[in-house]
């Protein structure tokens, strides 16, 4: 067996892979939140629906997306392997476990990760799979008056089952017909149980990132007296506070809107 294989089959190698995949997933969270903030635009889903279409039809983005799915699976698999290995190595729990200086989140990364993985499966099934492979997502037609830049929208029923998107100009109007993922989001977020589960998952994400982001840098050996406080600040405020709150606000706002 080569030294390369020995390295990545070791516990340290698995932790390195988890650190690298974890940091890649961190960058995805920033981009994903940025795109999802379009849900707060008061434009009847225009910006968000065009964003969703771009993500699923621009080849470089699709390549990155499948790399993302692979990273999620590898990250989850290696976390499971390391958790099982650690428990086998220490079958008897320490009696002074409660006196440990380790944080609650670091002690429960397996539980937090399991909840997040369940959330990802449900979330992708409800949105990504429905958008790509089912007929549960309808279509919207947006007409923009090129003279006034005012946009109106109506539901659209395509004549072909293979229809995805069209952009035309008709009588000084730009006409865009696209899948209406925004309506799917609004429908899902009108379900109180789904909203509660979503918010709990974002709370889980917060605790997971509180330990995971900083742990990734330590695993990679990127520890320095000057820069570690910056990593801690980013991991705490950006990934454990701002991003989870940003995601959690979406279902809450849409649920409140559905009650009006």
pLDDT tens digit sequence for 166-177: 999 988 999 999
141, 153 Cβ separation under 8 angstroms: yes
- The CA angle 8-14-19, to the nearest 5 degrees, is 120
- pLDDT, one tens digit per residue, over 183-230 is 999 999 999 999 999 999 999 999 999 888 988 998 888 888 888 899
| pLDDT for 3 | 56
Average confidence (pLDDT) over 35-54: 93
- pLDDT band for 156, please (50, 70, 90 cuts): very high
| pLDDT for 6 | 58
| pLDDT for 160 | 84
| pLDDT for 101 | 63
Average confidence (pLDDT) over 55-81: 88
- DSSP letters spanning the chain: --HHHHHHHSHHHHHHHHHHHHHHHHHHHHHHHHHHGGGGSSSTTHHHHHHHHHHHH-HHHHHHHHHHHHHHHHHHHHHHHHHHHHHHH--S--TTGGG--S-HHHHTHHHHHHHHHHHHHHHIIIIIIHHHH-S-S-EEEEEEETTT--EEEEEE--SSTT--EEEEEETTEEEEEEE-HHHHHHHHTT-HHHHHHHHHHHHHHHHHHHHHHHHHHHHTT---TTTHHHHHHIIIIIIIIIHHHHHHHHHHHHHHHHT-
User: Which of 70-84, 86-100, 134-148 tops mean pLDDT?
Assistant: 134-148
Lowest mean pLDDT of 44-48, 78-82, 152-156, 245-249, name the range.
78-82
Domain borders along the chain are 3-93+101-133+181-258, 139-179
Mention the CATH class of domain 3-93+101-133+181-258. Answer: mainly alpha
Give percent of the chain above pLDDT 70.
91
Lowest mean pLDDT of 132-136, 172-176, 203-207, 255-259, name the range.
132-136
Average confidence (pLDDT) over 91-114: 68
Q: Is the dihedral of CA 34, 38, 39, 41 positive or negative?
A: positive
CA atoms within 13 A on the CB side of 18: 25
Lowest mean pLDDT of 108-112, 181-185, 238-242, name the range.
108-112
- Supply the mean pLDDT for the chain: 87
| pLDDT for 9 | 64
Decide if pLDDT at 149 tops 80: yes
Say if pTM beats, i.e. exceeds, 0.95.
Answer: no
């Amino acid at each position: 067996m080569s030294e390369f294989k020995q390295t990545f089959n070791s516990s340290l190698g698995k932790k390195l892979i988890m650190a690298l995949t974890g940091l890649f997933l961190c960058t995805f969270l920033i981009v994903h939140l940025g795109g999802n903030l379009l849900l707060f635009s008061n434009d009847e889903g225009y910006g968000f629906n065009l964003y969703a279409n771009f993500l699923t039809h621009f080849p470089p983005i699709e390549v990155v997306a499948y790399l993302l799915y692979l990273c999620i699976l590898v990250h989850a698999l290696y976390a499971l392997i390391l958790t099982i290995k650690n428990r086998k190595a220490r079958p008897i729990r320490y009696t002074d476990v409660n006196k440990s200086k380790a944080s609650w989140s670091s002690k429960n990364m397996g539980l937090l990760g399991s909840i997040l993985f369940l959330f990802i499966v449900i979330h992708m099934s409800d949105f990504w799979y429905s958008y790509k492979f089912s007929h549960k997502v309808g279509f919207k037609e947006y007409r923009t008056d090129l003279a006034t830049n005012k946009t109106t929208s109506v539901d659209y029923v395509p004549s072909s089952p293979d229809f995805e998107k069209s952009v035309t100009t008709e009588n000084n109007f730009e006409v865009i017909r696209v899948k209406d993922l925004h309506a799917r989001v609004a429908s899902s977020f009108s379900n109180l149980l789904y909203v509660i589960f979503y918010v709990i998952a974002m709370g889980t994400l917060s605790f997971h990132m509180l330990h995971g982001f900083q742990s990734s840098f330590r695993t990679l050996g990127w520890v320095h007296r000057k820069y570690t406080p910056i990593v801690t600040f980013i991991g705490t405020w950006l990934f454990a506070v701002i991003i989870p709150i940003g995601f959690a606000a979406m279902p809450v706002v849409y649920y409140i809107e559905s009650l009006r």
